[in-house]
């Protein structure tokens, strides 16, 4: 599993700027990188690339990722056309949610992950 706090794409200490979207079907929300939102929307100036997009099967999987106390309405909605543009320009890295450890999930360093488990 990937740990979002340790992954930066550049091999550094995780301090590199990044943008992350959350997705269920054709609905998208900005999870990280609000300071670059305008640049990403218009496709000009600097914004961290690739934009990571974590793909969730359903809202229950997304809630497990976010953890208690956070909800999708806390995040900016992103128009699917913007995501399609990022995809066409090869600026989108799509990651299945089961490959990522979210802020609301336990980071079981013991490995052996069989998936599932927990009471989310």
Q: Residues 30-85: pLDDT tens digits?
A: 999 999 999 999 998 999 999 999 999 999 999 999 998 899 999 999 999 999 99
Residue 6: inside a domain, yes or no?
no
How far apart CA 102 and CA 41 sit, in angstroms, is: 25
As for how many domains the chain has, the answer is 1
How far apart CA 55 and CA 49 sit, in angstroms, is: 17
Residue 46: CA count within 13 A, CB half-sphere: 4
Residue 9: inside a domain, yes or no?
no
Neighbours of 22 (CB within 10 A): 23
Give me the domain span that covers residue 63.
32-93
Residue 105: inside a domain, yes or no?
no
Residue 84: inside a domain, yes or no?
yes
Phi, psi of 55 (to 5 degrees): -95, 120
Give per-residue burial for 31-43: e unless 16+ CB within 10 Å, then b.
bbbeebeeebeee
Residue 20: inside a domain, yes or no?
no
Residue 14: inside a domain, yes or no?
no
The predicted model scores a pTM of 0.77
């Amino acid at each position: 599993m990937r740990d979002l706090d340790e992954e930066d794409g550049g091999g550094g200490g995780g301090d590199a700027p990044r943008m992350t979207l959350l997705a269920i079907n054709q609905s998208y929300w900005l999870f990280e990188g609000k300071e670059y939102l305008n640049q990403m929307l218009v496709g000009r100036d600097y914004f961290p690339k690739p934009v990571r997009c974590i793909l969730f099967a359903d809202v229950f999987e997304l809630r497990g990722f976010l953890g208690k106390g956070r909800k999708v309405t806390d995040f900016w909605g992103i128009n699917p056309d913007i995501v399609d543009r990022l995809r066409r320009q090869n600026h989108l890295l799509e990651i299945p949610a089961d490959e990522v450890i979210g802020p609301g999930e336990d980071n079981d360093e013991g490995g052996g992950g069989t998936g599932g488990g927990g009471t989310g």
